[in-house]
Structure 1
Amino acid sequence: MMESRQLCIGLSLNTTWMKGEGWRHPDSDVEKMDSIDYYIAVAKMAEEAKLDFLFRADYLYVHPQMIGDSVNFGSPDPTMMFATIARETERIGLVTTISTTFNPPYVVARQLQSLHWLSNGRAGWNIVTSIEGAENFGDGPMPSPEERYAKAMEFTDVVRKLWDSFPQEAIVIDRESGVFSDRDKISPIHHSGEFFSVKGPLTLPGHPSGSIPFFQAGASDTGRTFASRVADAIFAAMPDIESGVELRRDLRRRAEEQGRSPDAIKVLPGLYFFLADTREEAQELHKVAHANLSTERRLASLKSVLGLDACGFALDQRVTADMLPDANQPVRSRTHAELLRRYITIHQPTVEEVLARPEVVGSAHWVSVGTVEDVLSDILERFEAGAIDGFIALPGGSEKSMALFFDKLMPKLVERGLFRSEYAGVTLREHLGMR
């Protein structure tokens, strides 16, 4: 039986619905991608559906597959985008992405607290350690995952200290005495650690709504340890139910080991859906979305993700565990590599099947293709199995697919009591059930 709990649902503002060949259609609205008004309109639709938050991934490098025939307007600073959207919305949360590997913590603490004030308590931080981009920030190589996460741990500690260094209670505004702020409540942090030395305090006070929720992207072993210590939600890759159940159980266990509630971390995978009036139409949307990925591109992606060079293999040849490269060799994403290794070990798929996997053609997201009823059933199955606490919606295929999500799928979740019909609060912390 399903527990009497509701889903937590966010929407990605990365234009996933224009991937592949779909952007070439005359009615794709691709020309609108360069205008903030387009994203504001989508944000308002999400708020009308009472979604918990908006989400925006970020990239600090230009991957070769991001240019050419792939629709991509680049990667504007998501925090600046959300600052604009904050003025056009009232309730929906705004989860921005900022890397701990390439930014100074003082600047990040200030940016996030500023967004928190601009949005009246709706800011969230998606913490990433980045997997590429070192060449844009100096001559050094990309740090190892262990070093990146060690830096992220200290980084988040510094950010929290900075937020605490200037509490909202320090603003007293006493006209009679002439005291605007209480000096004794504002203090330096004098942080000196392995990666950072920061005096503080921060240049602006905390918001009355409380601290900013932490999201974390990545589900490798190192990433899970980090999430168990600091995250309120995890945006994780989990292409199948089994990986979701295992991740959620493991995170609940790790949270308890850190002295936290097992419910402290919401598991929110990306749901990359292709919705249409018929299954055949939905399958065609999915096909078109990946039509630009030739076999050569997929083979290159497989080598990047797993380190496996399958160029000389026949498409019907089975890939077995003994064919897998050393698990300790450098790969683009350890999370995606571990997911793909697990799939191959269990299923012994053909090369063709491996090249069709989400880890190879996308970002290892959960993919659901079909009618509204099909995708609804998929969501219910994972929720009942204990694989998810909710999801981040990644509309695929077309704007119509996104419209069906808002107009048909979300009302069905509300009817079943799995999602709210009205907002109960005004801040992101309230939407997430945080105290």
Structure 2
Amino acid sequence: MSTDRKLHIGLSLTPTWLKGQRPHPDEALSAGMGPVEYYAELAQAAERAKLDFVFRPDYLVMNQAMAAHSPTFVGLDPTMMLASIARETEKIGLVTTASTTFNPPYIVARQIQSLHWISNGRAGWNIVTSIEGAENFGDEPMPAPEVRYRKAAEFTDLVRHLWASYPGSSSSAPVQAIDHAGEFFHVKGPLNVPGHDAGPPPLFQAGASEIGRSFAASVADATFAAMPDIGDGIELRADLRRRAERHGRSADAVRVLPGLYFFLARTREEAWKLHARAHAHLTRERRVAALKAVLGLDVGALAPDSRITADLLPASEHPVRSRTHADLLRRFILAKNPTMEEVLARPEVVGSAHWVSVGTVDDVLNDIVERFEAGALDGFIALPGGSVNSLNLFFEELVPALVERGLFRRDYEGSTLRQHLGIR
């Protein structure tokens, strides 16, 4: 199959193939190699595969459970790490993460514009409002989602104005203050880093809740979407396209890029063993606790074959850790009336509501093609699972197969992230 429409593919710089297990010696962050060097090698492999970008998430808390099950976990500041990786790569995009809840806008604008210069136009910003971490920034609790998103909207608008306040050498516009005075921030400006000739860094956003969709449609160039099922993807992408048009943007302005958590092996049996191994540490008790955190639903006293029906669900406004994950799981329960064991196996409970694909290269390839042709996505962010071999099969066989199908580029046509994403 050949088409003018191509996938956009990124790689998450997180050791997801080690999730839930003590790594084998050959799967650890190579002996004698630090995390920066290791992730630089991953970025170079992604660049050889001509991926659009590498992506680094961020956590402003120390997840002790993650450290216990992934002893190689190191929470390096993503922007600093990507600045180092920029010197080891030439064309691949570098998408960093910065919270609008806990950072000053001027500092974020300056750091990301600096990364843009260091990488020669390859920086991108993943905008997050954060769902935890308040205890590391004072005594106040986490703000309500509505407050976080109001702050994020003002923060993002402010950062964009700061980027524009000091035009690059190709512009004749003057440097000027922005004199911003809003609900959350007062900033005079201008920024002390000029704009790059590549144009401003593209904006990424990950929320798929009602308020998150509205925000993404208004500003994002791409959304790191949570969509475990193809139906969720079709609905979300269509909705974001409609919302973008209501904001006066093109329907194609927001590229929908779900996280693809895949387990690749030579046989389906081996792939499913990898999947089982990755989740073996999640006991029933831990899954029950996770379900309560995700949805506010306590099923500890129910029999394993009990069905979870609408009458068991907490009120929709019940406080939850992530509204996006809660909404996805709520819709699944309302549509399926699943058993408790089916609910406890859901991605929202055992992971992060990512799309999970398990099997051979052909199996996962067909899964990608089906969703792409159905209009459920514009690309994906790769989250290799199970083993280093799964990662290698992705680079060595899955991406080339997408190229042969005419769904992905053979070579870069530009050298900036905006060019890779087709942003004018």
User: Shorter chain as normaliser: what TM range?
Assistant: over 0.9
Distance 2:136 2:150 in 1: 21
Q: Secondary structure at the match of 2:330?
A: helix
Q: Equivalent residue for 2:352?
A: 363
Offset at residue 74 of structure 1 (A) = 3.4
Distance 1:431 1:384 in 2: 21
Does the 8 A contact of 1:170 with 1:186 survive in 2? Answer: no
Distance 1:42 1:259 in 2: 38
Does the 8 A contact of 2:231 with 2:376 survive in 1? Answer: yes
Distance 1:64 1:308 in 2: 24
Q: Equivalent residue for 2:401?
A: 412
Distance 2:410 2:242 in 1: 32
Distance 2:378 2:202 in 1: 16
Distance 1:18 1:266 in 2: 29
> 1:101-180 to 2 correspondence within 5 Å?
101-169=101-169
Q: Equivalent residue for 1:29?
A: 28
Q: Equivalent residue for 2:220?
A: 231
Distance 1:190 1:4 in 2: 44
Provide, for residues 219-274 of structure 1, a one-character-per-residue CA deviation record: whole Å limited to 9, x for no partner. Answer: 00000000111000000100000000000000000000001000000000000000
How many aligned residue pairs are there?
423
Offset at residue 2 of structure 1 (A) = 8.6
Q: Secondary structure at the match of 1:24?
A: coil
Offset at residue 114 of structure 1 (A) = 0.2
Q: Equivalent residue for 1:309?
A: 298
Offset at residue 20 of structure 1 (A) = 1.4
Describe the shift of the 1:422–1:239 C-alpha distance in structure 2 as closer, same or farther (beyond 3 A): same
Distance 1:231 1:42 in 2: 26
Q: Equivalent residue for 1:174?
A: none
Does the 8 A contact of 2:29 with 2:72 survive in 1? Answer: no
Distance 1:315 1:406 in 2: 40
Does the 8 A contact of 2:110 with 2:191 survive in 1? Answer: yes
Does the 8 A contact of 1:19 with 1:397 survive in 2? Answer: yes
Q: Secondary structure at the match of 2:69?
A: coil
Does the 8 A contact of 2:28 with 2:72 survive in 1? Answer: no
Offset at residue 37 of structure 1 (A) = 1.1
Provide, for residues 20-62 of structure 1, a one-character-per-residue CA deviation record: whole Å limited to 9, x for no partner. Answer: 12x3323212455743111111111000000000001100012
Does the 8 A contact of 1:18 with 1:71 survive in 2? Answer: no
The TM-score with structure 1 as length reference comes to 0.95
Offset at residue 70 of structure 1 (A) = 4.0
Given residue 40 of structure 2, which amino acid in structure 1 is its aligned partner? Answer: I
Does the 8 A contact of 1:12 with 1:394 survive in 2? Answer: yes
Distance 2:365 2:404 in 1: 12
Does the 8 A contact of 1:19 with 1:396 survive in 2? Answer: yes
Does the 8 A contact of 2:259 with 2:383 survive in 1? Answer: yes
Q: Secondary structure at the match of 1:287?
A: helix
Offset at residue 345 of structure 1 (A) = 0.7
Q: Equivalent residue for 2:201?
A: 212
The TM-score with structure 2 as length reference comes to 0.97
Provide, for residues 96-151 of structure 1, a one-character-per-residue CA deviation record: whole Å limited to 9, x for no partner. Answer: 01000000000000000000000000000000000001111111110011100000
1:257 paired residue among 232, 240, 246 = 246
Describe the shift of the 1:120–1:280 C-alpha distance in structure 2 as closer, same or farther (beyond 3 A): same
Distance 1:89 1:132 in 2: 33
Q: Equivalent residue for 2:10?
A: 10
Q: Equivalent residue for 1:176?
A: none
Given residue 159 of structure 1, which amino acid in structure 2 is its aligned partner? Answer: V
Q: Secondary structure at the match of 1:285?
A: helix
> 1:266-277 to 2 correspondence within 5 Å?
266-277=255-266
> 1:329-344 to 2 correspondence within 5 Å?
329-344=318-333
Any unmatched runs of 5+ in structure 1? Answer: 172-181
Distance 2:88 2:29 in 1: 22
Given residue 359 of structure 2, which amino acid in structure 1 is its aligned partner? Answer: G
Offset at residue 170 of structure 1 (A) = 7.7
Provide, for residues 272-322 of structure 1, a one-character-per-residue CA deviation record: whole Å limited to 9, x for no partner. Answer: 000000000000000000111111111111000000011111111111111
Distance 2:399 2:103 in 1: 37
1:292 paired residue among 281, 299, 319 = 281
Offset at residue 91 of structure 1 (A) = 0.3
Matched, 1:281 2:280: no
Q: Equivalent residue for 1:86?
A: 86
Offset at residue 3 of structure 1 (A) = 5.7
Distance 1:115 1:378 in 2: 35
Matched, 1:42 2:42: yes
Given residue 117 of structure 1, which amino acid in structure 2 is its aligned partner? Answer: W
Does the 8 A contact of 1:20 with 1:71 survive in 2? Answer: no
Given residue 339 of structure 1, which amino acid in structure 2 is its aligned partner? Answer: L
2:342 paired residue among 340, 353, 358 = 353
Q: Equivalent residue for 2:188?
A: 199
1:326 paired residue among 299, 302, 315 = 315
Offset at residue 71 of structure 1 (A) = 3.9
Provide, for residues 133-173 of structure 1, a one-character-per-residue CA deviation record: whole Å limited to 9, x for no partner. Answer: 111111111001110000000001110111111000388xx
Does the 8 A contact of 1:13 with 1:56 survive in 2? Answer: yes
Distance 1:204 1:263 in 2: 30
Matched, 1:399 2:398: no
Does the 8 A contact of 1:272 with 1:367 survive in 2? Answer: yes
Given residue 251 of structure 2, which amino acid in structure 1 is its aligned partner? Answer: P
